Amino acid sequence: MKILEIKTLAIPDITVIRFARFRDHRGYFTEHFRRSDFLSRLPFYQNVDFSQANESYSQPGTVRGLHFQWNPFMGKLVRTLSGHMVDLVLDIRKGSPAFGRIIGYDMPAHPEDEFSEWIWVPPGFAHGNVFKEHTAIEYLCTGEYSPGCEAGISPFAQDIDWSLCDPGIRGEFEGIAAGAPLITEKDRNGYSLADWIGKPESDNFVFWGACCRP
């Protein structure tokens, strides 16, 4: 795996891993994951074990999320296979300096690109996506899906703090939201932050100076 760049975002627990594609007249080849490279270069991976892999396809104008899970906790390593995704990450760790703040990261992927990227979203964050094109994504999960131990914050909740989010990304989200976004009623009617932190389950996500621990 040829890792080109590792960077953290406005919320430092969120990590982006850029890796090379090798292109020629036939197309491209890439090695998108190698365990030894992750172990040697990515501190978060020391305590990570992926137990489930998911793939989804979305039409333009789709909004998904903002989802999270406990028992077991679920961290996600996400990449765009083809199309154009904007990834959304909301800090729900009680006591975190960034609690209630959301960031977005632009993640297009097209065959002519020289690189692709993963984004790491650890437990303690609500995760969602906005799709600008017909888009397929893949994500590796550190916990298996557990019905009854998952919930969501509505991406339209009025008490989300967008101050850390790139203004251009926020504008794109608001443009899609102002139209007729493709979204499930479950996601649209998710909790507000205030409603969520009033529930005892919210105590599963507490800031301890590094990510989230029960």
User: Which residues participate in catalysis according to the annotation?
Assistant: 67, 139
Q: Is 100 helix (H, G, I), strand (E, B) or coil?
A: coil
> How would you class 75 by CB atoms within 10 Å of its CB: exposed for 0-12, middle for 13-18, buried for 19 or more?
buried
Residues for the chain: how many in total?
A: 214
DSSP string, 180-201: --B--HHHHT-B-HHHHHTSGG
CA atoms within 13 A on the CB side of 108: 9
State how far the Cα of 160 lies from the Cα of 65, in Å rounded to an integer: 13
State how far the Cα of 183 lies from the Cα of 62, in Å rounded to an integer: 6
At a CB cut-off of 8 Å and minimum separation 6, what does 146 contact? 69, 71, 72
